[in-house]
Structure 1
Amino acid sequence: MTNQSPSKSMLSRVLNGGKQIAIMLVVFTLFSAAIDLWRSRDIVTDNLPDLKAMTLTGDSIDILAMSHQEPVLLYFWGTWCPVCSFVSPSVDIMATQYSVVTVAMSSGNNEKLAQYLQHKQYEFPVVNDDKGLLSHDWSVNLTPTLMVIKDGELQFYTSGFTSLPGMWWRMLLA
């Protein structure tokens, strides 16, 4: 029988719980990275396509040129995508701190898309890809898809749910 005081016993349990959480986070991160690699096997990584377009607000963008100044988060999404409704608020937060360009895939005409953005109070820049030409050029078939581009090269690629910390880390590592 040990003579540990209740406070030492409690501290020991808290530390063990913290270790278990840290191990789970490491395993989850490694698993997530492996899935990202598997999902990105079909993406074009050499000679990224040009993305020169006009946003809904009339701003001209050039992803590759922007990426030579700082990393750019490129987000392919749709108004019809249920997972995007969880990811888009995080992208909106990222857009306040980083260069972000979003591509709305097959989400209607400019007016309909602008109404959607206003309703959701999203302020990130949006290129309307109503015919799916940009997403086809970038080999994007799944929403949401996020890419981090730096110096004209694809640094990170992920599809499906991505958390705000996941986006933040990818941008910092780029």
Structure 2
Amino acid sequence: MPIKKLPRPVRFLLWLLVFALVYFGAQQYQKRNLVSGPVPDYSAPLLQGAYFDSRDLAGKPYVLHFWASWCPICRFEQDTIQALSRDHQVISVAMQSGGREEVQNYMQEAGLNFITLLDEEGRLASRFGVRGVPTTLLINSDGEIAFREVGYTSEWGMRLRLWWMK
């Protein structure tokens, strides 16, 4: 039976199913290179001037968020990350967004003040398998990656995942 002869609600459900399969398939494809399991030890210069070492967060859950100043989706999501940083430990990574001064200017203009690591050449992102931004990893208190997301995620979606992670 041709699709056009199916009742309208059935056609709608079929299109919805196709959309869902394509969407979730694309999500899984984007996550294929991301690390999973235990978080590798890493260190990087902080925007604020010192040096960050991931071992300092041992035993604490946190959000590891990769973003770029040139990414329009990251700009759209930055208020969500700022809001999360008020209630949760957020470590952000400014990937290939220029030097310290450029990233500081960007964050100041945007009103952002979460902890930011500089990854000018994308080496830290490569270590985590990040190929696109924004990418968000939720790390549990055991040092394991509990959730991996590529692309935009809503504030309530992240908060729900953080709650679930506990």
**TM-score, length-scaled by structure 2:** 0.78
Aligned pair partner of 2:151 in 156, 160, 164: 160
CA distance in 1, matches of 2:144, 2:96: 26
CA distance in 2, matches of 1:171, 1:33: 21
- The answer on whether the counterparts of 2:38 and 2:145 sit within 8 Å (CA) in structure 1 is no
- The answer on whether the counterparts of 2:44 and 2:119 sit within 8 Å (CA) in structure 1 is no
Aligned pair partner of 1:74 in 64, 71, 85: 64
1:122-162 deviation digits (Å, cap 9, x = unpaired):
01111010011100101001100000011111000001110
Aligned pair partner of 1:119 in 109, 112, 115: 109
Amino acid of the residue matched to residue 96 of structure 1? R
Distance apart, 1:39 and its partner CA:
3.5
**TM-score, length-scaled by structure 1:** 0.75
1:53 corresponds to: 44
Percent identity for Structure 1 against Structure 2:
30
1:40 corresponds to: 31
CA distance in 1, matches of 2:47, 2:34: 26
CA distance in 2, matches of 1:100, 1:91: 8
Report 1:1-174 matches (<5 A): 36-69=27-60, 71-150=61-140, 151-174=142-165
Is the partner of 1:96 in helix, strand or coil? helix
CA distance in 1, matches of 2:159, 2:58: 16
Aligned length: 145
1:79-129 deviation digits (Å, cap 9, x = unpaired):
000000111110011001100000011000101110110000101111010
Distance apart, 1:33 and its partner CA:
7.3
Is the partner of 1:139 in helix, strand or coil? coil
- The answer on whether the counterparts of 1:65 and 1:152 sit within 8 Å (CA) in structure 2 is no
Provide the alpha-carbon RMSD of the alignment: 2.2
Distance apart, 1:50 and its partner CA:
1.6
CA distance in 2, matches of 1:108, 1:140: 18
CA distance in 2, matches of 1:153, 1:115: 33
Distance apart, 1:75 and its partner CA:
0.4
Is the partner of 1:116 in helix, strand or coil? helix
1:48-94 deviation digits (Å, cap 9, x = unpaired):
3222233111344333541512x210100000000001111100110
- The answer on whether the counterparts of 1:36 and 1:157 sit within 8 Å (CA) in structure 2 is no
- The answer on whether the counterparts of 1:104 and 1:128 sit within 8 Å (CA) in structure 2 is yes
- The answer on whether the counterparts of 1:72 and 1:148 sit within 8 Å (CA) in structure 2 is yes
* Alignment gaps of 5+ in structure 1: 1-26
Amino acid of the residue matched to residue 133 of structure 2? T
